[in-house]
Amino acid sequence: MIVITFWVFVLAISILLYVLLDGFDLGVGILFGLTRAEGDRRAMMSAIAPVWDGNETWLVVAGVVLWGAFPVVYATLLSAFYLPLLVMLAGLILRGVAFEFRARAERTRWIWDAAFSGGSLAATFIQGMTVGALVDGLPLVNGRYAGGDFGWLSPFAVLCGVGLCLGYSLLGACWLVRKCEGDVRDTAYRQIPSLSVALLVFLVIVFVYALGKNLPVMGRWLERPYLLVFPVIGIAAAIKLAHSVRRRQDGVPFHMVAIIFIAAYGTLAISFWPYMIPFAITVYDAAAPHSSLAFMFWGEGLFVFPLLLIYTAINLSVFRGKVDSTSQHY
């Protein structure tokens, strides 16, 4: 039992870190598509170049932990989202190689620009859409997916895809405010208010929809009103965000948006706990046998996972502060 909780915790941390870290660099990729000036584009790429692929490793960590520790969920979700995941992987690969090849291209630079922003947008949309499809309820029969190639598609799922694009763009804009100077920073400051308002409206819609659609979720919030602390923290962070943007405190907005994300993540998790696939498969149904979880714990859980956390912290702190826009490769 404890070991199941441990792996739920590892998985939750891995997914949260992925969302926050790759979230901002995917967001920068989306905003990249909205700019035209070459200097700004270089500055935007430089702001995420040193960290993006360390960020992306958390996706693979989450993927393999899901498979090893919760094989049923891995098998069900990945096969159900066959085509969306294909688009996400292609998007992530194209975005990744764009980092390496863009600087060397002159005539073909537009291809890499399109790959970079298009790949970021596609990967983000798919991630939001899958979460939306899960909240909406996948068509399952006896715990098996039974929806065909497009069974995950619903207006709500699409709405969540759009919502995550807004969310990641907001994270990205705050990251740019933190890392850049000049035009890039000013543009990002102009984008933050509208992105934040759009994101908050979206989150409220999702929360109300989830409450209305699923009575068990509603019951949980009514029974334990103290859980409302998560949405409340989110609102407080939004207020602080507005202040810091007005006062141009470059370092603050990113942390506030990260708190909003954590609050939304916590709200989502509490609403559906202990279900991993809402109202069909719980963490206890999905957990691998004790012998597997214990074997994973004594090696990768106890040693390698903390090492990865430390490394992530070091990598981010090494590249803290503003990037110098005059001496960049990008």
Partner 1 sequence: MDLTALLLSRLQFAFTISFHIIFPSFSIGLAVWLAFLESLYVATGRPAYRQVFEFWLKIFGVAFGLGVVSGIVMAFQFGTNWSEFSRLSGSINGVLLSYEAFVAFALEASFFGVLLFGRSRVPAWFYLFSSWMVALGTSLSAFWIMVNNSWMQVPVGYVVENGVFVPNDWAAIIFSPVVWVRFPHMLLASFLTGAFCVAATGAWYLLRGEFAAEARIMLRMGLFLAAVLVPIQIFFGHLTGDYVHDDQPAKFAAIEGRWHDEQPAGEVLIAIPDPATGSNSYEVKIPVLGSLIGSMSFTSKEVGLVDFPPRDRPPVFIPFFTFRIMVGCGLAMLLLAWYGSYLSVKERIGDTRWMLWAIFLGFPLPWIAILTGWYTAEVGRQPWAVYGLLRTADAMTPFLTARAVTTSLVVFCAVYSFIFAFGVIYIYRLLQEGPSGDLALPPVAATPNRPMSVVKASLEPKARHASPGE
Q: Which residues bind partner 1 (CB under 8 A)?
A: 46, 49-51, 53-54, 57, 59-61, 63-65, 67-69, 71-72, 74-79, 81-83, 85-86, 89-90, 92-94, 96-97, 99-101, 103-104, 106, 144-146, 148-149, 288-289, 291-292, 295-296, 299-300, 304-305, 307-308, 311, 315, 319, 327-329
CB of 146 to partner 1, least distance (A): 7
Nearer to partner 1, 145 or 156 (CB): 145
CB of 275 to partner 1, least distance (A): 18
CB of 183 to partner 1, least distance (A): 20
Nearer to partner 1, 249 or 312 (CB): 312
Rounded CA separation 85/3 (Å): 29
Rounded CA separation 258/243 (Å): 16
One-letter amino acid of 246: R
> Which helix or strand (DSSP H or E) is residue 144 part of?
strand 144-145
CB of 198 to partner 1, least distance (A): 31
CB of 227 to partner 1, least distance (A): 32
Judging by beta carbons within 10 Å of its beta carbon (0-12, 13-18, 19+), is residue 329 exposed, middle or buried? exposed
Alpha helix segments (H runs only) across 137-279: 155-179, 182-213, 215-223, 229-246, 252-272
The pair of three-digit structure tokens given for residue 74, joined into one six-digit string: 């891995």
Nearer to partner 1, 248 or 329 (CB): 329
Nearer to partner 1, 269 or 308 (CB): 308
The contacts of residue 260 (CB under 8 Å, 6+ apart) are 199, 234, 237, 238, 241
Nearer to partner 1, 67 or 275 (CB): 67
Closest CA to 124 of 40, 18, 37: 18
